[in-house]
Amino acid sequence: MTPARAIRIGGIAAAGVFAADQASKYWILYGLDLPSLRQVEVLPVLNFTMVWNQGVTFGLLNGLGTWSHFILAGFALAVVAGLCVWLRRAETTLAAISIGGIAGGAVGNVLDRLRYGAVVDFIHAHLGEWSWYVFNVADAAIVCGVAALVLESQFRRQPDPVVKSGV
């Protein structure tokens, strides 16, 4: 795959994830008005639950202080820059889509941090008493993108090694 093709595919994936993430958050905040409702049952195993996440994925590093959202946003933008370099070197369509999805999700969460000082999380999956973390579309894209890259690296056919004969 050429770098230009990888960038085009990854860019489309990033833009799609970013748009879906921001549209869903806009609807949650201003259409549904989840901040005032706090929680809405969607299915027996799925709620929309309003959470302002000041940490990173799964609430890690929450409460680092007043400037934490700027620090985390800066770190995420540095990661996105690294992803852009990696994207140019992507060898497969799946890798390009995955890297783009991760980047689009990261940028969506960065925009939240800069706009609100926290990330808008609202998807709350649960089963009986068991409950998963509250997350958003960007988080899902990041996790799925990383999982796809790991799986792709494990199942990608490696070229046969060249065997040199000493004859």
pLDDT at 150: 96
Confirm whether 53 is domain-assigned: yes
Confirm whether 124 is domain-assigned: yes
Summarize pLDDT for 40-53 with one digit per residue, the tens. Answer: 999 999 999 999 98
Confirm whether 166 is domain-assigned: no
Summarize pLDDT for 67-120 with one digit per residue, the tens. Answer: 566 777 788 788 889 999 999 999 999 999 999 999 999 999 999 988 998 899
pLDDT at 58 exceeding the cut of 50: no
pTM of the model: 0.84
Measured CA to CA in angstroms, residue 151 lies from 20, 36, 47, 78 at distances of: 24, 40, 29, 25
Confirm whether 9 is domain-assigned: yes
What is the extent of the structural domain holding 141?
3-154
Q: Is 112 a catalytic residue?
A: no
Confirm whether 150 is domain-assigned: yes
Number of structural domains found in the chain: 1
Q: Is 160 a catalytic residue?
A: no
CA distance 44 to 128: 9
pLDDT at 11 exceeding the cut of 70: yes
Measured CA to CA in angstroms, residue 79 lies from 11, 28, 68, 73, 155 at distances of: 16, 27, 16, 10, 25
Confirm whether 161 is domain-assigned: no
Confirm whether 89 is domain-assigned: yes
Confirm whether 164 is domain-assigned: no
pLDDT at 56 exceeding the cut of 70: no
Catalytic residue among 33, 112, 139, 160: 139
pLDDT band at 7 (very low <50, low <70, confident <90, very high): very high
Structure tokens at 7: 């960038």
